[in-house]
Amino acid sequence: MAKPENRSQLMGYFGAKQKNIVWSWCAVNEDEKTIYFSVWTDYRNKFGKRERDYYVIQEPHWGVNNETGSFSAARNDHDEKFEKALNGGYRTFGYFVEAKDKNVVPREIANTKTSFVFSLKIERLDDGSIIGYPLNRIEVR
DSSP 71: B
On the question of pLDDT at 1 being above 70, the answer is no
For the chain, the domains span 7-139
Chain centroid to CA 132:
9
* Residues 63-108 pLDDT 10s: 999 999 999 999 999 999 999 999 999 999 999 999 999 999 888 9
* Residues 16-59 pLDDT 10s: 999 998 899 999 999 999 999 999 999 998 877 788 899 999 99
Cα separations in angstroms, 70 against 61, 75, 81: 10, 10, 18
The pLDDT confidence band at residue 3, using thresholds 50, 70 and 90, is confident
* pLDDT for position 135: 96
